[in-house]
Amino acid sequence: MSYGDDDSKRKRRLAIIGVSSMLLVAMVVAVTVGVGLNNSGDDKLNDSSHKSTSQVSASMKAVKAICQPTDYRKTCEENLQKAAGNTTDPKDLIKIAFKIAEKQINEAAKKSKLLEELSKDPRTRGALQSCKELMNMSVGELKQSLDKVTDFDLSEIETMVADVKTWLSASITYQETCLDGFENTTTDAGKKMKKGMKLAMELSANLLDIVSGLSSAIPSLESFTHRRLLQDDLPVLGHGEQFPEWTDIGTRRLLAAPVSKIKADIVVAKDGSGDFTTITAALAHVPIKRKKAFVLHIKEGVYQEYLEIRMDNLVVIGDGREKTRITGNKNFVDGINTFRTSTVAVLGDNFVAKNIGFENNAGAIKHQAVALRVSADYAVFYNCSMDGHQDTLYTHAKRQFYRDCSISGTIDFVFGDASVVFQNCKFLVRKPLENQQCIVTAQGRKMRRQPSAIVIQNSTFTAHPDLFPERKIFKSYLGRPWKEYSRTIIMESFIDDLIQPDGWLPWLGTFGLKTCWYTEFNNYGPGSSKKLRVKWNGIKTINRQHAMDFTPARFLKGDSWIKATGIPYTPFLPRHLLCPAIPPLLPFATVAVAAIAGTEKLSRNAAVNTITHRPQILTLPAIYSSSRMRGVAVLYSFLRYIAV
């Protein structure tokens, strides 16, 4: 399968690319807003002053049209009119809007540098240093978005909109992360930065609103562009010919091959049998920009290193998530802001990790301590583990996919504002400190039009062995709203009895309870009943059709990049619902819940508790096993299948 186009397709794309940008910005005005620029009487005005007035009026109309779908309309209109002069060209106005936002973010970066020089508080200085980096990252996302908006293939407008929304969302997230860094600082620098960034944040949000408004215009183009569906062999927009050559048969097979068959570009081995003994030294020899995947094999061992991976198209393969482990212990209590505590930070796009363990072993007493932070687009983690306590996995921004992974922690141990899907993963709740509660997710969507969410599909929520004996003593919850528009979807997953009946926990008072978006669909297990769940306005009920929107094929457009890696991947919901009701005609059903088989011994009582919401099952055998009970699970799946 190739991502390149043949000559005829390429010529067609070149032929329309010149008009693509103008049609896009015209849609902002004509389709999304529904108003046009009416200059029909201008030709009759010979007086130069009247012409000037007419131009200003036309420019104001154009500005109002561009700003119409924004949440901060006054901010949009005032700043755009001031910078636009007599400009009426929507394309130019879009560019100006981006440049205004970029300028304001750069001003915030300068302010952070000035405040850093004045600050004597170490934690404040650390937060300001992070702000400088985050502002640069934010500007980078704006520039990438502007390049794409003003120069793209019209036949791929749907994918373009998804890309630009992702990047603009990341730009907003980075700004918010800057402000998050001032938690528990002893100076007023945080307040000053928040005030200084207010305009930048509003302008960035407005850009997202403008691009989001294009979604309603996309169907109107189908008749004259003959746009193909995303399932076709189109490249991922934003990468095009630069998308890594996963189609290289050797690379795809490598991801499915046993460790002994790996042919890597660089091998890391602590015993000296590879090219380098440390991962840090190996990364120094990895190209920053490369079209083809670069493979790094990390042999068995515990690597006590702190890594920041900025290389695109990097594939990292270990010998097993319990064998190849990268560990650190940076933490909040020792004076480091959460953003900087990560053992491993991934920023390079098209990153793939397989058979690796990421760990922060600072312990619960050290509070926030990140094992893995991911700010990369098109990041894939397969058969990996992320272990820690508070804030273990920071799914920071952009598009990510996790398959067959294990994540352990105590408080908010999966958090961030990425568009992320976890499939066939295990969430292990660990024992917290005394008087603490455990929360699995804390999604951080700040703006209502950000495309981000935490989606958990066909996974397991259960107790870590260190919590299991006391799982009824310490309360555990599925999640809480970290930011105002927090969004989390849990579907087709096993929820064990450690999860409280109310399911979800407030962040602080009533914050986010009306604006969050939380839903559970077709889950099963003793903690899955929704009868006693909280009744917030933000708790939603969805049907199967709506749930399909959060599958990786739709939510992440995964067929165009996840499938290409060759790792296991289920694009949609299964044909049959995961846990259909078994009718009374099947009284002697052998039932086992494979999801928890790997973490505890299943007695007859435990099995009964697992299906208390299905009283029509009359008898159950006693099941004792510490294995995964694959055979029984297959039987259970068969019974579910024939019961439909």
As annotated, the active-site residues are 412
Structure tokens at 570: 């289920």
Structure tokens at 315: 């594939």
In angstroms, the CA 131 to CA 155 distance is: 38
8 A C-beta contact, residue 584 and residue 616: yes
8 A C-beta contact, residue 550 and residue 570: no
8 A C-beta contact, residue 495 and residue 501: no
8 A C-beta contact, residue 193 and residue 179: yes
Structure tokens at 464: 């870590």
Q: How far is CA 206 from the centre of its chain?
A: 21
Give which of 528, 532, 508 is closest to 520, Cα–Cα. Answer: 528
8 A C-beta contact, residue 403 and residue 459: no
Give which of 562, 132, 556, 541 is closest to 382, Cα–Cα. Answer: 562
Cα→Cα distances 518→442, 459, 487, 573, 578, Å: 11, 17, 6, 19, 20
Which residues are 504's β-sheet partners? 479
Structure tokens at 391: 């804030």
8 A C-beta contact, residue 391 and residue 370: yes
Helices assigned H by DSSP within 454-517: none
Structure tokens at 585: 């005609």
8 A C-beta contact, residue 139 and residue 105: yes
